């Protein structure tokens, strides 16, 4: 499965994320942001489009109803940020730290999480369409009551992830590793797993396997 990558102009103007306070509507576009610290802020309905953000931190910042389109984040830290009710389309997170991020009730389309840490992140009630988690760590992440469409977990650590109330039909977990998941038998129907994972899941569900 291929996803649409962010569509970003070749020429970008340097900017600082603090510039968002200097405009009537909280919007930034067609710019390059590097080494910005935007921690512990609270800003509603931010719009970011056609831009690159590198080596910046947004720890504990509240971005309710944020809209992201055609944005590339590289080596950014969103630890414990609130991105609930977000609209995230054609966005990539590469080498990012998203520990404990709240993505509840958000909509994702053509999104890549690559070599990123999403431990304890929450995606409750989110809609994920064409989303790839690749070489990332999602220990203890929560996908409660999510809609997963063409979503892939490639070579990830998903130990302790909860898929409670989230159907996994057509979802491929076979290249990822885990010792335990929160998931029911009904939700697992149609999920793709390796033979080793099948044994692990069987034991978690109380089956006694005899060779």
Residue 95 has what DSSP assignment?
S
Domain ranges of the chain: 26-164
Q: Where on the phi/psi map is residue 4: left (φ > 0), alpha (ψ -120 to 50), or beta?
A: beta
Range 163-173 average pLDDT: 94
Distances (CA, A) of 106 to 1, 14, 35, 83, 112: 22, 29, 27, 8, 15
pLDDT above 50 (res 207)? no
The pLDDT, as a whole number, for residue 1 is 76
Q: At 205, is the pLDDT very low, low, confident or very high (cuts 50, 70, 90)?
A: low
Looking at the DSSP assignment, which residues form a beta bridge with residue 192?
172
Q: What is the pLDDT of residues 57-67, one digit of tens each?
A: 999 999 999 99
pLDDT above 80 (res 23)? no
Residue 25 has what DSSP assignment?
S
Range 81-107 average pLDDT: 98
Task: Of 68-82, 127-141, 169-183, 190-204, give the lowest mean pLDDT range.
Answer: 190-204
Closest CA to 174 of 149, 157, 197, 158: 197
Predicted TM-score (pTM) of this structure: 0.93
**Which helix (H) or strand (E) segment is 198 a member of?**
helix 195-204
Please enumerate in sequence order all residues whose Cβ is within 8 A of that of 169, keeping only pairs 6 or more positions apart, or say none: 189, 190, 191
The pLDDT, as a whole number, for residue 204 is 60
pLDDT above 70 (res 208)? no
Range 179-202 average pLDDT: 84
Residue 60 has what DSSP assignment?
T
pLDDT above 50 (res 85)? yes
Class of domain 26-164: mainly beta
pLDDT above 60 (res 206)? no
Range 94-120 average pLDDT: 98
* Residue located via tokens 């697992």: 188
| Gap between the Cα atoms of 162 and 147, Å rounded | 13
């Amino acid at each position: 499965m291929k996803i649409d990558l962010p569509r970003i102009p070749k020429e970008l103007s340097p900017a600082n994320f603090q510039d968002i306070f200097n405009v009537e509507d909280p919007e930034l576009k067609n710019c390059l942001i590097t080494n910005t610290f935007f921690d512990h802020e609270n800003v509603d309905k931010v719009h970011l489009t056609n831009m690159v953000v590198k080596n910046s931190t947004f720890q504990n910042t509240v971005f309710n109803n944020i809209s992201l389109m055609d944005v590339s984040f590289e080596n950014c830290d969103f630890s414990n940020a609130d991105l609930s009710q977000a609209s995230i389309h054609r966005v990539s997170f590469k080498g990012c730290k998203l520990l404990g991020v709240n993505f509840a009730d958000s909509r994702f389309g053509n999104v890549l999480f690559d070599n990123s840490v999403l431990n304890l992140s929450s995606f409750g009630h989110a809609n994920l369409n064409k989303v790839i988690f690749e070489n990332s760590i999602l220990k203890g992440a929560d996908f409660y009551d999510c809609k997963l469409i063409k979503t892939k977990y490639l070579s990830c650590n998903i130990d302790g992830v909860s898929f409670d109330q989230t159907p996994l039909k057509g979802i491929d977990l076979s290249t990822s590793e885990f010792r335990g998941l929160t998931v029911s038998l009904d939700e697992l129907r149609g999920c793709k797993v390796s033979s080793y994972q099948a044994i692990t899941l069987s034991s978690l569900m109380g089956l006694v396997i005899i060779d």
